[in-house]
Structure 1
């Protein structure tokens, strides 16, 4: 057993290269994946297999799940990673392991180290890995769907609330100009709700590696920001301030998605910030990009939680704090939209300066048309 374990470790690079080549030949989803993405868990799994072969020779011992602690952890990570890799399916994940088993067996046979005992260990270890990876993949996909649907459902509340507010304050004694103004506001908000419902239905069919669908076109993004500013000013008691030195900012954007992102950040800034301080929407623009900052005073987001709330499929659940959970739900959308526009989102939050979310968007990172956003796996 010791020699079989040693040969797997010594031939590690050769095994990985061989496996990767066969996977790209036989699994369509793997063909377009980067080498780094394909190899991310394989060295760990290979080390696990070698350890188990070295430690255990008793078939009865192998049937106790606690003996597979390492392989379970890494196979769960493997499944979670594949859920954020485009076009993967459970069948393809299982085939990855079958190919891995084939490569390991060939290596041991070629070195005259394949025995019945080694074959039994590989079988049990492989079965454990396959079950855990497939389960993790399925659960992660379901988690993605629930989060996307939850985010969309959460955001639909804002325009419906605005429409209700507009209709509720209309009075028969109002003059025609005020009635038309409130009617326009209500209809506009309901139109936004219908646009979001399309996204909600779209999210139900999300596949591995996919996020929401975005529809890019050349627009003046300031019009969308001014709409958010105007609507928020009428709904919230906090003062809402929009600061921009431009009359218009033209680029290829998904206006609906960006509007939803800013609405989400403004809503959270009002909800979790100081009630006596203004919420600021700051807009900076140059030839290539636009930066939109949402700032509020008040209790900051703890430093140790600032990275985790951006993660869509974090390794552990976000701490059971309702504030962080609410921030995190919205930030899955913010991060996805920013990256789809070739940009990113950053957070600064402390007692002195308050909380600022900075959304960087490239003006011409995309061509007009409809595309699915991609999810990005984090190793943190």
Structure 2
């Protein structure tokens, strides 16, 4: 029996051994079911069968051995497998080891069937190894792409979320030095420096956790009892120090205590208010409302400004999406803004079990509204 036919007739034991090996790749596989562990193995085997049975010239074989086989315009099963393994928390070594185990498993099972050791046997084995190497190359390529994207997003998040608190620190420090002797105003500015520095450190610590947890797996949340009104006042004061020429209005009503991640909630306020500053008219106030509801809490940030275009509304919460700012100039190109604030905000809201949406029109301005359940099980 030729190798391609053997694989076709023995899919179940081959897939069973793949699953058994994948189950040993801990901790990622600890909580995965059979279907997830078998991810795309049948499609990968079907690719191998077709590849072995397809006609191949000597030149094509040489190209494949160098990893130069033309890439398909459609995602391959091996590429999708790599992407899902990355999202599931498998590292590169674990993913590569799956192919090493698959190679050994197929050869072992085929030899147990006692095939005739002929020239065709050697040819089939060569073609099989070429196919495995091709699938492995595609998996490594797609895994590396996701890893690079994760690194880029990490750097973007770090630079984006540290900008506002560090800006407040810088401005407060400068004002403190100019005022002279210690006064009540100086005491307030010094307190602002302390608060903003602490928030920056909280963000850095959370970003380190985020890197370990992988972007594709969602943001880690550390819940504790907190007062949303207190955090709102803190972040609005921070924005007032950072933008002394802008007007900020804060309205807090109803019960606003609950179980949330205080540092992450601070990011929501910071990102939404900074977005309103950037895209709102300079002479119009920015209104922040925190409203306690029977089953949760609503946060609304409103600004008057050029309405968001309909096509932009559809992608506004995507990573790297960015609209045109009212303050963009030729000396400040759009590329300087990474467009990550709303993406980060959405991820934090979703991690809390909440929702976020936006409305924007010329007559009513732009309003971002966040709903958060008061407790994790609400």
- Shorter chain as normaliser: what TM range? 0.7 to 0.9
Of residues 127, 135, 139 in structure 2, which corresponds to 1:129?
Answer: 135
Of residues 224, 242, 250 in structure 2, which corresponds to 1:242?
Answer: 250
SS at match of 2:72: helix
Instruction: State the 1:127 CA deviation.
Output: 0.9
Matches for 1:72-91 after TM superposition, within 5 Å: 73-86=76-89, 88-91=90-93
Q: Distance in 2 between matches of 1:215 and 1:271?
A: 30
Matches for 1:127-166 after TM superposition, within 5 Å: 127-166=133-172
Q: Distance in 1 between matches of 2:51 and 2:359?
A: 45
- Check 1:207–1:256 CA distance in 2 against 1; reply closer, same or farther (3 A cut): closer
CA RMSD of aligned residues (A): 4.2
- Check 1:76–1:63 CA distance in 2 against 1; reply closer, same or farther (3 A cut): farther
Of residues 179, 183, 186 in structure 2, which corresponds to 1:176?
Answer: 183
Q: Does 1:51 align with 2:47?
A: no
Q: Does 1:18 align with 2:16?
A: yes
Q: Does 1:216 align with 2:215?
A: no
Matches for 1:238-277 after TM superposition, within 5 Å: 238-246=246-254, 248-277=255-284
Q: Does 1:97 align with 2:103?
A: no
Write the deviation string for residues 71-130 of structure 1: whole angstroms up to 9, x where unpaired.
9744333323322222x1222101222344456667878798994444333211211222
Q: Does 1:341 align with 2:346?
A: no
- Check 1:263–1:117 CA distance in 2 against 1; reply closer, same or farther (3 A cut): same
Write the deviation string for residues 221-259 of structure 1: whole angstroms up to 9, x where unpaired.
22112212233244334433334422x422221111211
Of residues 66, 75, 90 in structure 1, which corresponds to 2:69?
Answer: 66
RCO higher in 1 or 2 (8 Å CA, sep ≥ 6)? Answer: 1
Shifted more, 223-232 versus 52-61: the winner is 52-61
Unaligned runs of 5+ in 1: 312-316, 367-380
SS at match of 1:228: helix
Q: Distance in 1 between matches of 2:55 and 2:363?
A: 57
Write the deviation string for residues 188-236 of structure 1: whole angstroms up to 9, x where unpaired.
2222223334345556656685666543221112211221223324433
Residue matched to 1:293: 300
**Are 1:76 and 1:136, in contact at CA under 8 Å, matched by a contact in 2?**
yes
Q: Distance in 1 between matches of 2:76 and 2:322?
A: 21
Q: Distance in 2 between matches of 1:70 and 1:51?
A: 18
**Are 1:240 and 1:281, in contact at CA under 8 Å, matched by a contact in 2?**
yes
Shifted more, 196-205 versus 127-136: the winner is 196-205
Unaligned runs of 5+ in 2: 325-332
SS at match of 1:69: coil
- Looking at CA atoms only, which structure, 1 or 2, has the larger radius of gyration? 2
**Are 2:156 and 2:340, in contact at CA under 8 Å, matched by a contact in 1?**
yes
Q: Distance in 2 between matches of 1:191 and 1:119?
A: 61
Report the number of matched residues: 357
Q: Distance in 2 between matches of 1:227 and 1:32?
A: 40
